[in-house]
Amino acid sequence: MQTTLEKTLAAELNSLRETGQYKQANVLQAPQGPRTRMDGRDVICLSSNNYLGLANHPKVVAAGQDGTRKFGLGTASVRFICGTMTCHLELERKICEFLGCEASTTFISCWDANVGVIPTLASTAEDAIFSDALNHASIIDAIRLSKAQRFIYKHRDLNELESMLKSANARNRVIITDGVFSMEGDVGDLPQLKDLANRYDAALIVDESHATGVLGAHGRGTAEHFGVLGENTIQISTLGKALGGACGGYVAGSRIVCDYLVQRARPQLFSNALPPSVCYGSIAAIDILMTEGATLLEKLRANVRHFRAGIATLGLKTIEGITPIVPVIVGETATAIAMQKALLEKGVFVSGFGFPVVPRGEARLRCQISAAHSRDDLDQALAALGAVAERFPEARGAHH
């Protein structure tokens, strides 16, 4: 017999199926890479966060195996009880060396880092959090866990942010922004945000998940790109994208902030620490970025320029920018889904996103470029996009 809960859930699932919103996992039959296998066929992957191609890099894989051999599969404990191993300290020292910051601390994911940091640094109704409307879901949920006053400003609208900062009556003030926004591929204006933070005595937190290993001369993210690295900015990022693609998140900044988080951040206090394989694999990924980063970043940027120019030549609608997240705006959710399917048939995997992930009428194919893509991969993908767009003329009429 079904419980009322199961009946309610079944009805909701049915409605997701009827409205075309029911998600089906796209299962990989091979490691993550510029080309992989799906549905028994080789595909060019334009849909992963493997920006530097390190997810299956031999040095990263070997380091992960070494971690398991030396420390076993996992910690069987949270950090502060007996889950801190030397590999965690090595990883945190490596992050500090990479970013040139005083201290860092790790979490099992960047989701957990956000949920650990935001409600911990701004916890009471006397505090205030200021957040960009298009910040990542983990930031939105983290804010919901805090009792602080909330001010959500329109995407990149710093005039609105300033009037909110002026009007707020609060003790601890925290401004939080994505460095690179995950659905738009645009960049937060850190110099202006930093200026506002300084003028209104707020801490600036930047989620660099899509910027680490992507922006800045050494791949240190948006803060390096704008030259505001280390100036009291708290950086949060993931080890699950450019830095090896496994999992894990970190906070990097001042010793005071990190010390406090280790004492108080609940996801670190009450959840297991990172597996040793991930610690060592991520250290290897950071080492590659620190030694071979110039070549990798050059390749990534040349690929991004090439792909963005190709999209412009095809006359497809996008959001101009410099990042490897290149949205192709096609309008309706059904169009995005149908185009995703048609592209897969041509051996190109790219994800379609529609409402409610992005605003209604702005459904898109989110293309993500990697340093590991060859020119051939990108040209084949562009040719497939052009051919598929011919069959969906409505995609060209989409507005943004």
Ligand X SMILES: Cc1ncc(COP(=O)(O)O)c(C=O)c1O
Q: How many Å apart are CA 353 and CA 168, to the nearest integer?
A: 35
Is 241 assigned a catalytic role?
Answer: yes
What are 374-380's contacts with CB under 8 Å, separation 24+? 374/34, 375/303, 375/306, 377/34, 377/35, 377/44, 378/303, 378/306, 378/307, 378/310, 379/310, 380/44, 380/347, 380/348
Window 182-201: residues binding ligand X (CB under 6 A): 182
Window 247-286: residues binding ligand X (CB under 6 A): 247, 249
Q: Which is nearer to ligand X, 103 or 110 (CB)?
A: 110
Q: Is 178 in the site for ligand X (CB under 6 A)?
A: yes
Q: Which is nearer to ligand X, 182 or 335 (CB)?
A: 182
Residues in contact with ligand X, counted by CB under 6 A, come to a total of 14
Nearest approach in angstroms of CB 207 to ligand X is 5
Longest CA pairwise span in the chain (Å): 62
Q: Which is nearer to ligand X, 110 or 128 (CB)?
A: 110
Q: Is 209 in the site for ligand X (CB under 6 A)?
A: yes
Beta bridge partners of 42: 37
Q: Can you say how many angstroms the Cα of residue 45 is from the centroid of all Cα atoms in its chain? A: 17
Q: Which is nearer to ligand X, 221 or 310 (CB)?
A: 221
Q: Which is nearer to ligand X, 146 or 335 (CB)?
A: 146
**Residue 388, C-beta contacts closer than 8 angstroms, at least 6 positions apart:** 339, 342, 343, 346
Window 156-175: residues binding ligand X (CB under 6 A): none
Structure tokens at 207: 């989620």
Nearest approach in angstroms of CB 114 to ligand X is 6
Instruction: Tell me, residue by residue from 93 to 112, as one string, x for binding to ligand X by CB under 6 A and - for no binding.
Output: ----------------xxx-
Q: Are strands 249-253 and 103-107 parallel, antiparallel or unpaired?
A: antiparallel
Q: Which is nearer to ligand X, 176 or 196 (CB)?
A: 176
Q: Which of 47, 109, 138, 182 is catalytic?
A: 182
Q: How many C-beta atoms surround the C-beta of residue 3 within 10 A?
A: 8
Window 365-394: residues binding ligand X (CB under 6 A): none
Work out the angle between the directed axes of helices 333-345 and 375-391 (0-180°, nearest 10): 130
Q: Report the amino acid identity of residue 263.
A: Q
Q: Is 212 in the site for ligand X (CB under 6 A)?
A: no
Is 182 assigned a catalytic role?
Answer: yes
Among 212, 233, 238, 340, binds ligand X (CB under 6 A): 238
Instruction: Tell me, residue by residue from 10 to 49, as one string, x for binding to ligand X by CB under 6 A and - for no binding.
Output: ----------------------------------------
Q: How many Å apart are CA 85 and CA 99, to the nearest integer?
A: 22
User: How far apart, in Å, are the Cα atoms of 32 and each of 29, 72, 101, 246, 392?
Assistant: 9, 24, 31, 11, 29
Q: Which is nearer to ligand X, 109 or 370 (CB)?
A: 109
Beta bridge partners of 364: 329, 353
Nearest approach in angstroms of CB 45 to ligand X is 16
Stretch that binds ligand X, among 73-81, 86-94, 202-210, 384-392 (CB under 6 A): 202-210
Nearest approach in angstroms of CB 180 to ligand X is 8
Q: Which is nearer to ligand X, 114 or 335 (CB)?
A: 114
Q: Is 323 in the site for ligand X (CB under 6 A)?
A: no
Q: How many Å apart are CA 354 and CA 364, to the nearest integer?
A: 7
Q: Which of 57, 194, 241, 373 is catalytic?
A: 241
N-to-C CA span, the chain: 48
Asked if 385 and 314 count as a contact pair (C-beta separation under 8 A), the reply is yes
Q: Report the amino acid identity of residue 325.
A: I
The DSSP-derived string for 91-151 is HHHHHHHHHT-SEEEEESSHHHHHHHHHHHHS-STT-EEEEETT--HHHHHHHHT--SEEE
Window 122-141: residues binding ligand X (CB under 6 A): 136, 138
Nearest approach in angstroms of CB 383 to ligand X is 29
Q: Is 207 in the site for ligand X (CB under 6 A)?
A: yes
Nearest approach in angstroms of CB 201 to ligand X is 25
Interface positions with ligand X (CB under 6 A)? 109-111, 136, 138, 178, 182, 207, 209-210, 238, 240, 247, 249
Catalytic residues: 182, 210, 241
